[in-house]
Amino acid sequence: MDSIKKLKDLFVKFPTIGSRTAGRFAFYLLHASKQEVDDLVKAMQELKNNVKLCAFCFNPHEPFNTHSTSSGQAAQGKGETNLCHICFDASRNKELLCIVEKETDLLSIENTKQYKGLYFILGGTLTLRKTDGANLRIEELKDRIKKSSFSEIIIALNPTPEGKSTSVLVERALKEVIVPTIFKITHLAQGLPVGGELEYADQETLESAFEGRK
Ligand SMILES: [Zn+2]
């Protein structure tokens, strides 16, 4: 296949990238230096090789050592955790769980620096084509809740029609879980732009949506 077309077809698969932008990317790379292209290929390979999903919340992270030797060098192999920095952090409130659709929503909420609990990344929402939730991590979510003792579970899905129907599904799933502690289920307050997405909401709006959750 024509190399330019092949690359363009790959870029079209990226979120929000249409065919015209995909073409621009392909031509950009055609004229870029060999070093720049090599760096890009290397960065993509490192991403796939080094980044793992957190064993609790599915947040992508690079495994790190949980302690260092006195010389400052990381102890090899020992103390490595399969948890991300958030789940591993002892100062986080382990009684709060915030359910988000995707990684970028987690980052937006983290950026507000208001929320100090844990997260769970659902991995998507219901869509017109996938209405059974089979593409979502519902079973994993139930499993995490059974093994923890949350006092509050915040459903922080996007205020889109897909996000709303997914919230209903998640809430139903949460109510099916029988756990030793009773937790309350809350939702972000109104005020987020209707049909908008958390990742595009400004920090202030997101902060007040969190504060006013009910
Ligand atoms: Zn985690």
Residue 33's domain is classified under what CATH number?
A: 1.10.8.420
User: How many angstroms separate the alpha carbon of residue 55 from the centre of ligand 1?
Assistant: 7
Claim: this prediction has a pTM higher than 0.85: no
Q: Mark whether 38 and 61 lie in a shared domain.
A: no
Residue of 136, 135, 188, 132 whose CA lies nearest to 160 = 188
How far is 159 from 163, CA to CA, in rounded Å?
6
Q: Mark whether 132 and 195 lie in a shared domain.
A: yes
CATH at residue 147: 3.40.1360.10
User: How many angstroms separate the alpha carbon of residue 76 from the centre of ligand 1?
Assistant: 22
Q: Mark whether 174 and 203 lie in a shared domain.
A: yes
Residue of 77, 76, 79, 82 whose CA lies nearest to 52 = 82
User: How many angstroms separate the alpha carbon of residue 119 from the centre of ligand 1?
Assistant: 7
Helical (H) or strand (E) element with 186: strand 184-187
Count of domains observed in the chain:
3
Q: Mark whether 172 and 107 lie in a shared domain.
A: yes
Q: Which of 95-99, 126-130, 150-154, 161-165 has the lowest mean pLDDT?
A: 126-130
Q: Over the stretch 88-137, which tens digit does the pLDDT of each residue have? A: 999 999 999 999 999 999 999 999 888 999 999 999 888 767 667 678 99
User: How many angstroms separate the alpha carbon of residue 117 from the centre of ligand 1?
Assistant: 11
Q: Mark whether 85 and 101 lie in a shared domain.
A: no
User: How many angstroms separate the alpha carbon of residue 22 from the centre of ligand 1?
Assistant: 33
Q: Mark whether 195 and 102 lie in a shared domain.
A: yes
User: How many angstroms separate the alpha carbon of residue 127 from the centre of ligand 1?
Assistant: 26
pLDDT of residue 131: 67
pLDDT of residue 6: 95
Answer with the residue of higher pLDDT: 16 or 78: 16
Q: Find the domain containing 64 and state its range.
A: 51-89
Domain endpoint, select from 89, 112, 136: 89
User: How many angstroms separate the alpha carbon of residue 138 from the centre of ligand 1?
Assistant: 16
Q: Which of 65-69, 125-129, 165-169 has the lowest mean pLDDT?
A: 65-69
